[in-house]
Chains A and B, each alone.
Chain A
């Protein structure tokens, strides 16, 4: 009987041997996996400049001998931890920026305490961000600041930039930032105003628990967690795969609770009334129209983003008032756009090219 076309009979014993070796390795590494902790994340040396409740401002210690004049303030999404941008040496966006000569600060969040359930959008946009900008100005001695916002951190940065249109923000970079919330179809359906009683939820539980946030993210791709477990088992012999899996898995499950009032406003103003897209948004009585943003802006979006689909993000660049504006679409998903092997090759060099000339 002839072998099927393309089947190399001579390679079969070698292949069997390789699979047996991998099976043995899987058993050994599987035990190691269970008994060991994952890699240490977020270890780029930094100093804490300010801590106030859920707000944390870090300054990363410069590595380069000479740095750009304009410091960077990264505003993290309120649902997730900032160490996604500082995984491990060699795979850290922060480390990359420091090596390229940027002075980097980060506004990161910790879980709001039960007594912080009354924090509102105003606290984030009119207090935390301006406060951190002032601290960055004091610490760096520079008036101008570049702001980078990731996901909902981008939304907060846009609101800040719309209200504080006369500065001191010099450049704005948004990663995967939604502005048309109608296009976040599944989130829209989960928060359908006919069935989702946000007032009852917030009034009864206060802060929205992280499990609820995590489940809503996981429901967007319900089979992916199980499939990733299968992938992990198949590749458990591969140390690099396991290291990467552990880093991303730990970050993805390390979701933060959301302050109750802030969640209520987000649902009503953005998910229900789509105010940012409709130019009717205001924060603490102050109009926040993104057409008022005039600073140079770069918006990086991911081709396969299942959390913020392109349709939800694509109007940002057309709606801002800046003349110096650019959207860049890169291969990858919501997270792989900013972290991991793809980001190292694609987003990071692109961002450096764009920002270097605007940081002097």
Chain B
């Protein structure tokens, strides 16, 4: 097996790993200072406010163009998901009524397995 200390690829990978660790450690030390917190929170507060205003402006623009916003599309997708959930509930109920079975039935209409499982014994067999 080739010696890793002379393998240029291994050396390169090791170098990247060490650089990552070194930079993370250095940055974490810098970020632990109160000055960092002060600056980040000043900048962050301004940026968040500006993003919110830009978002509101875009929303108004999209409304004026009669176009849906991303939030509306996401909301629509979630409503569709909810409708799918209700459909599968109705399907399960229909299945239950149709079968008129006394056996316990799962949410999607499939029979539920019995709740009788025991933990494996020390020798690996099911009790």
Q: Is A189 an interface residue (CB 8 A)?
A: yes
State whether A64 touches B48 (Cβ < 8 A).
no
Q: Provide the residues of chain A in CB contact with B98, threshold 8 Å.
A: none
In chain B between 10 and 40, which residues have their CB closer than 8 angstroms to a CB of chain A? 13, 16-17, 19-20, 23-24, 27-28, 31-34, 36-38, 40
Give min CB distance, A184 to chain B, whole Å. Answer: 12
Q: Provide the residues of chain A in CB contact with B78, threshold 8 Å.
A: 51, 110
Number of interchain pairs (Cβ within 8 Å): 145
State whether A220 touches B28 (Cβ < 8 A).
yes
Q: How large is the interface on B (under 10, 10 to 19, 20 to 34, 35 or more residues)?
A: 35 or more
State whether A205 touches B49 (Cβ < 8 A).
yes
A51-B82, A67-B117, A185-B32 as given contacts; A223 in contact with B20, CB under 8 Å: yes
State whether B117 touches A66 (Cβ < 8 A).
yes
Which one of A67, A114, A205, A359 lies within 8 Å of B48 (CB-CB)?
A205
Which one of B16, B52, B85, B112 lies within 8 Å of A204 (CB-CB)?
B52
A110-B78, A204-B49 as given contacts; A223 in contact with B117, CB under 8 Å: no
State whether A230 touches B16 (Cβ < 8 A).
yes
A114-B71, A234-B13 as given contacts; A197 in contact with B85, CB under 8 Å: no
24 A-B residue pairs with Cβ-Cβ distance under 8 Å, sorted by A, are A6-B5, A47-B92, A48-B85, A49-B85, A51-B81, A51-B82, A65-B113, A66-B113, A66-B117, A67-B115, A68-B117, A101-B117, A103-B115, A139-B107, A141-B104, A186-B31, A189-B37, A190-B37, A192-B37, A195-B34, A205-B49, A219-B31, A234-B13, A357-B119
Additional A-B contact list (8), CB under 8 Å, known A62-B112, A201-B48: A8-B2, A61-B108, A66-B115, A195-B40, A205-B52, A219-B31, A226-B20, A356-B120
Q: Which residues of A contact B (CB under 8 A)?
A: 4-8, 11, 15, 19, 47-51, 59, 61-62, 64-69, 101, 103, 110-111, 113-114, 139-142, 185-186, 189-190, 192, 194-197, 200-201, 204-206, 209, 211-212, 219-224, 226-227, 230-231, 234, 356-357, 359-360
